[in-house]
Chains A and B, each alone.
Chain A
Amino acid sequence: MINKLIIISLFFLGAFLTLINIYTHEKHLTTFVYQVNTENTHFKETVKSNQISGTFVAQANYLGGVNVNFNLEESFFNNTLVFTLKEGRDGNIYYTSKHQITSVNFVPYFPIGFPPIKDSKNKKYSYTFEVYKDSLIMSKNDTDLQITSLAAKHQFPKALLLSDNNLTFELIYYKVKYIFLNNNIIVLSYAFLLPIIYVLVRKYLQILDRNLVLPTIVLFVILIDIFLINSIHDLTFYILFLIWFGLFLYNKIDYRINYLTSLICLIILIITRIFNLTIAAEKAGAWAYLFMFTGTILLIIQYRFKIKPSVTMEKMRSKNQDK
């Protein structure tokens, strides 16, 4: 009974954490943002400025801003950026604004807002970012101005949302669609895995051999390193690997458990790759390799010296069946 209660509570904890996360990312309830394709941008350099322009089709009404991320060299700083938005390629200028580029305001997204366009849905807009060569450094810069990402921002008026059900429904549709495309939010929905992890860990602890307690703790530390520490240090690998290897060798544990652990790390690698958690993926990959390596060395040792493992996968399986 208690067990079931824990599982249900963990499920609700997952749901709660996910909702909190959605709220944190989506606290501006009346806006939604999506990425715009920037592959069709054109670069132009003149004596006075560096210019980059492109077009996009608005996916909804009330287009009210863009968030832009430039690949900026230091030489671009302390210059003036002019943003221009037109309807269509040759239409009239809808909005233009001037901004000073500093190293502070361009990391990571530079937001540019303008009065929302009521009927923007399915219309083509062309944008231009022009950096004027004010400073001496800029005048002899040797790289092109490049946009690494551009997001369109739609702002629905609150009053209108309350009165127009169709508009409210449209906004909800976009928000839900966005939530499923937002990696940050999906990552936190890992929390839903908590009940499954609990069941697996419980099962594991039931069949846990005392020789496996320390390796389990080491594995736990490795998992913490993968998921929670956002930097990579060679030394961490050396220390944890030596402890792990020593424990397996000393306790004569079946080499195949390393391949199992490697499999776990590979699955973690796939998940972290899907969610673009590069550092975690790099660490998961390195650990998958190291476990494979340990397993292979132990395999050679156990076969070469005819060592009979004290802990084997077969033993653990029969223990599981007994329970």
Chain B
Amino acid sequence: MVKKLPYILTLIVLAGIVTVVNLGFKYNFLGEDSGVIYDFPQTLSKVTYYMWDHFAAPGKINVTSTFNFLWLNFIFLLYKIGLNALEIKRILYFVFYASSGVGAYMLVHLLLTIYTKAKENLIGLAAFIGSLIYMFNHFSMELGSIPINPYHISYMVLPWLMYFLITNLQVKNTLQSLLLFALSATLIISSNPSNTLSICLFALFYCLFFYREIKKTNTRPVLFIFLALGLILLLSSYIGLTMFTVENPYGFSGSTSDVIASLDIHSKFTSFYNVFRLAGAADWASYSYNNVFENNPIFKSLGYVMILLVTLTMLSKKYLKIKLFFLLVILVSLFFAKGAHVPLANLYTILFKKFYFFGIYRASYAKFIYFVALSFSFFAGIFVILAKDFISKYKNRFLNYAIFLIPVAILIYNYPFFFGHLPHKDYLTVIPKEYQQASNILKSDATQFKVLSLPMAPRGSGLLLQWEGGKYIGPHPDASFLDQPVLDAYWYIYKGYSGLLPEDSWYGTKFERKINKLLNTSGFLNIKYIILHKDFLDKYHFGTSQIVKMDGRIKSKFLEKELAKNYQVKKIADNKYFNIYQLGDKYLYPKIYIAETIIASSDPIKYIFTNYIDNAPDGKVAVVNPTDVIQTIDVPKKLTFKYIDPTRYKVIIHDATKPFLLVFSETFHEKWLLSVPSVKHFEANGYANGWIIDPKMITNGSKTLEFELIFKSQEYFQKGLTIALSTLILTLTIILLKSVARPIKK
């Protein structure tokens, strides 16, 4: 360990330099997939611990809470020890690079020790060079351009997972090493599911490929595998239990043609001449350093040194089996990473058509290239050992020192890491104080409601805002700003409002012209407030194509004028970034209500959009499918409900004698259940939950009904968490007891 320390410290120092140089201390690093939620721990906590995400109104099952649970709790831990959002982003950035580098060092060191039996000093140097390749390459450059999020876990934990796996299989297995392996596997599971699947296959491939070598060791590999699988299942049971009880937690993720179109975008730069140098991101052309790597002959040539070294190394017949293993990994990964390029350019299309699930690999470059990076890292190490062997024949002092040129070349080639070129310029920004304090505006309203966000996000995919301290480009941030459920207005286009098309979310004011008419339907969605952004961008360069225009400001100005005409809408906040409006009582429906009128329609959404254009519905209406209509209905006199948490509501109904229809304005999901028997659970108003409740089935003559409305998956999630925590505590206790008992025995 002492001999490893200088190298490990060097890698940690390099990670520190990369963090400071690239992020500095002035700007926040936000946007992309992580949005702003990491900066609002209050909202984040509600997303982390509950299986229903009511913030993404009208609500959806929350995959984040299960998959990203460990990652999000790590962030909470950092908040708990008193760090702020700015510092946390830097720590995450540092952890990403330090963990990747040190992990790769440990893995390559272990592999070279097992398979080459070279001198320890040489192995140390070789592993260091290998780890530099894993830490600094075009893919880790790409990963460093966006805020660190759970997607990064696969890259930073992969070498550790393999290190603990091989240690357990071929060196020694103790309870500690078993637990470390299981924990790293649980971490991997909490990252991207497609990456998890590929990493599982990679680990399995290693076990099968080196079956004979593993069998020869006295580490009881079979017992280890069974114990490890059991431990992983228990530690990740909060994921397993919840995921396996839900049919498709992700919902509809696009048709085959969408997936093929997405592959085409992701394949733009993935021809072999790019993936050989680990480059090929879809927005490769938009990076500031792209010009150097595309035009400078020295950098162009240096990029291919690693693939040249791999090929050269294969000419030697030494250490053939381990080289063959990693070469096979390279070949398979490169083949898939190249996406829709020759040879076999149509393979992906065929796979997508035959196996729909393969669509999870449409971002071909990002899904496969990290295996190539890991294999390159190993090959760099083995090359150093073979080269040293070769050089020693010549007894030339200078040749001995030539090895040190390799790390120098790696660092020079990866100059963007050390000149602050990594972060995408639009992700370094400052959240205006108006947004930071926006939640105070609605804090006094204790009722349950939703906020409508205007103008709509282009294609509903996220907002593009211009602030004084920079831009915001990322998923919808309003729920974090307001700490309230927010419905993006694109929902209306998605549901077919007035024949509008997705293009209308980018250009023109077709939707905006109808805003006051549209508000007549807002009761069905439990909308009480509107947030109107005045900071929309007019154009943006997405990196993959030309500059795209959008009529953000035109839309927002138009909306401002239209809303001012409506006397039922009251402006309650106005600043240079946004306005907030409160809707009048005529529009309001509570989140949970009893339908006074039930209307049958084969297409409830269409009915709502076409029949409530000029006037809001009279009384509390529910539009349901004809098969769900009940003949005898009653309207109980009073309904009260209490919000307990996003997955639990307490409902009290007075004076109920006959069957009635209860509507709950969150997206319909079969796991929303009543704690009492109901006649039927179905979709009401084209999206919400509706129950026909017959009081006779619940009480014996009493007119007051009291029950809970619960999201069932939350129970599984909590049970899973209990199992995982108990397992962890139990294992740690055993380890602790063992370590205490050992010195006593002696």
B344 at the interface (CB under 8 A from A): yes
With A144-B539, A260-B315, A266-B308 as contacts: A289 and B546 at CB distance below 8 Å? no
Chain A CB within 10 Å — which of B297, B308, B314, B331 has the most? B314
Contact yes or no, A270 B539, CB < 8 A: no
B343 at the interface (CB under 8 A from A): yes
- Residues of A261-288 whose CB lies within 8 A of B: 262-263, 266, 269-270, 273-274, 281-286, 288
Contact yes or no, B311 A144, CB < 8 A: no
Contact yes or no, B273 A269, CB < 8 A: yes
Q: Which of A233, A256, A273, A283 contacts B300 (CB 8 A)?
A: A273
Complex: A144 Cα to B538 Cα, angstroms: 12
With A232-B342, A289-B334 as contacts: A262 and B311 at CB distance below 8 Å? yes
A185 at the interface (CB under 8 A from B): no
State how many angstroms separate the Cβ of A166 from the closest Cβ of chain B.
33
- Residues of B418-461 whose CB lies within 8 A of A: none
Which stretch of A12-20, A97-105, A168-176, A294-302 is in the interface?
A: A294-302
Complex: A295 Cα to B311 Cα, angstroms: 10
Contact yes or no, B331 A293, CB < 8 A: yes
A186, closest chain B residue (CB): B297
Residues of A near B334 (CB, < 8 A) are: 289
With A143-B549, A144-B547 as contacts: A296 and B327 at CB distance below 8 Å? yes
B312 at the interface (CB under 8 A from A): yes
Residues of B near A144 (CB, < 8 A) are: 539, 546-547, 549
Complex: A258 Cα to B23 Cα, angstroms: 45
A245 at the interface (CB under 8 A from B): no
Contact yes or no, B324 A238, CB < 8 A: no
Complex: A269 Cα to B276 Cα, angstroms: 10
- Residues of A214-260 whose CB lies within 8 A of B: 232-234, 237-238, 241, 256, 259-260
Complex: A289 Cα to B372 Cα, angstroms: 13
B349 at the interface (CB under 8 A from A): no
State how many angstroms separate the Cβ of A48 from the closest Cβ of chain B.
18
Contact yes or no, A285 B271, CB < 8 A: yes
Complex: A238 Cα to B345 Cα, angstroms: 11
Contact yes or no, B273 A281, CB < 8 A: yes
State how many angstroms separate the Cβ of A77 from the closest Cβ of chain B.
17
Complex: A47 Cα to B276 Cα, angstroms: 48
B272 at the interface (CB under 8 A from A): yes
Residues of B near A263 (CB, < 8 A) are: 308, 311-312
A281, closest chain B residue (CB): B273
Chain A CB within 10 Å — which of B307, B308, B343 has the most? B343
Contact yes or no, A274 B300, CB < 8 A: yes
State how many angstroms separate the Cβ of A290 from the closest Cβ of chain B.
7
Residues of A near B90 (CB, < 8 A) are: none
**How would residues 316 to 345 of chain B score, 1 for a CB under 8 Å from any chain A CB and 0 otherwise?**
000010001001100100110000011111
A164 at the interface (CB under 8 A from B): no
Complex: A292 Cα to B330 Cα, angstroms: 10
Q: Which of A143, A238, A296 contacts B328 (CB 8 A)?
A: A296
State how many angstroms separate the Cβ of B667 from the closest Cβ of chain A.
34
Complex: A7 Cα to B510 Cα, angstroms: 75
With A143-B546, A286-B342 as contacts: A299 and B324 at CB distance below 8 Å? yes
B707 at the interface (CB under 8 A from A): no
Contact yes or no, A282 B273, CB < 8 A: yes
Contact yes or no, A237 B307, CB < 8 A: no
A-B contacts besides A266-B311, A274-B300, A299-B324, 13 pairs, CB < 8 Å:
A71-B546, A142-B549, A146-B547, A234-B343, A259-B311, A266-B304, A281-B273, A282-B273, A285-B272, A288-B311, A289-B343, A292-B314, A296-B331
Q: Can you list 21 A-B contacts with CB-CB less than 8 angstroms, sorted by A residue number?
A: A143-B547, A144-B547, A232-B342, A241-B343, A259-B311, A259-B312, A263-B308, A266-B308, A273-B273, A274-B297, A274-B300, A282-B271, A282-B341, A282-B342, A285-B271, A286-B272, A286-B343, A288-B272, A290-B343, A296-B327, A296-B331
